[in-house]
Structure 1
C-alpha cells in the first residue's frame, strides 16, 4: 500500500453534494481518513453505497480540482481546502429518487379512530386531541379518570389542545450523536461533583477533629450537609450517562438538573465557610488553639464550595442550551400545555 502524510491542518470543512439529490450538507472531516473510510461516512449523508461512489472535488468557483480515486490514499493528500465541494456520483441511483415523497409510506388513521382521539372529554372542558407519542414521554395510556379514550402503551399517551397540534409529513429522527457527547460531559461533571462532595464531608469532619477547644462546629455541619448535594448531583449524572433505559435516563437527567439548582441556591454554605475562614485568619478564640490549621481547612472548604457553584452553573447552562436533546419531555409538555395542565 502506498504511504501518504498530512502536512496541512488536521481537518477540513467541505460541502457534500450528490447526484442522487438536490441538496447539500456542510460537514467537517479529519484529513487522516482514507478515502475508503471517507466514503463510508458519506453513506449516511447521501444514501449511496461506498462501493458505488465516485468522488469529485470542486473549488469555490465550481471548477473541478481533482477526483478522489485512490481508496488507500488519505483525504489530506489531495488539494482540498475549507469551502470546497465534494460531489458524490452514484450511477445506480436516479436523480431525486430519495426526494420522491410519493414512495414514502404514510401513517393513516380511520375515521373511527380519529373520532376516538378528537373531541370533548370529561376531565377538562373544551376539545382535546389524544396523542400517541413515539417515545415514552407521555403521562398516560389514553385513559384518564377511569375512562379509556384511546389505547396505547403506558407513558406513550397524552392530550393536547387542537391549536397545539401541527399536521404534516415529518421525517423520522435519526441517531443523535450530539446526545452522546453531552452525556460524556455530564458524566465528567458528575464525577467531579462526587469528588467535591466527598471532599467537603471529609473537611467537615477534620474541622471538628481539630477544634482545639474552639467553638466553631458550624463549619463541620456545613461541610457535611453541603457535601451531600454534589454527591447526589454526581449520582444522577452518572446514572443518566450509564443507563440504557430511556425513561430512567430522562428521570436521571431531570434529577441532575434539579440538583444543579439546589447547589446554586445553597448560599448559606458559602457564607458559613467564608465566615469561618475570616474568623480563624484573625485568630478569634472560637477557632481554638489550632487557628492556622482551621484557617487552612476553612480555605479548602471555601474553594470546594466555590468549585461546586461553578460546576452547577455550568451544568444548568448545559441542560438549558440543549433542552431539546436532553429533555424532550420538556418540549412536549411546553408545546402541548402552554398555560394548561397536561393530562
Structure 2
C-alpha cells in the first residue's frame, strides 16, 4: 500500500484536512478536489504552502501529468486552490443570495399568523409563554462518553457524516443538563469550544459544537479521506 501524506486543503470557501497518495498525478488530484472545493478542474490553480502558519509558496502544480511527489509534497503542508473563474463555481452559486427575492412580514402580520414558531410556543406554552409554576426539568444523568473518543454526530442531511473527537462532557452555563463538546474534522461547527464567553475546550473557529448525548455515536470513526482508488461518485 502506498504511503499517504497528511495535508490541509484550502480554497476560498473550504478548509479541511486530507490524506493523499503522492503517487497520483496533478490531474487526478484536481478531479478529487472539485468534489471538496466546488471549483471546476479547468479553473483550479494549485500551489503548495509550507504550512498553515507559514504561507510561503514552495511550488506551483503547473504540470497536470506530474505526480504530486515530483513537487516534494510532505506531511502538514497546505494545498491552496485558487479559483480562476469564480463566477461559474458551485460554491459561489450556493452562497450568492443577491438575486433571491426576500419575503418580509411586519410584526403585527407575523403575530396574526398561526403557522409560525411564535404561534406554536403560545399554543404549547413554551419558552416565555410557559407557566411560571411549571416543574423544573430533571437534569440529564451521567453519560458514558469518554473525552478523546472518536464520534459521529447525527445529521439531518442524507449522506452527510459529521465526524470528530469528543473534547468535553458535562454541564454548561448556557443550558441545563449534560452536553457533549465535539471538535469536528471539518468546519461544520458553530464555535471554537467557547459559548457566551465561557470556554469549555479549544479548537479552530467553526470546528466546535455542543450537542446532547443522544445525538453522539461513539466508535472507531476515521477521518474522512480522499478515496483515490474509487473513481465512481
* Normalised-by-shorter TM-score class: 0.3 to 0.5
The structure whose Rg is larger is 1
The structure richer in strand per residue is 2
TM-score between the two structures when normalised by the length of structure 1:
0.31
Which of structures 1 and 2 has the larger relative contact order (alpha carbons within 8 angstroms, sep 6+)? 2
TM-score between the two structures when normalised by the length of structure 2:
0.43
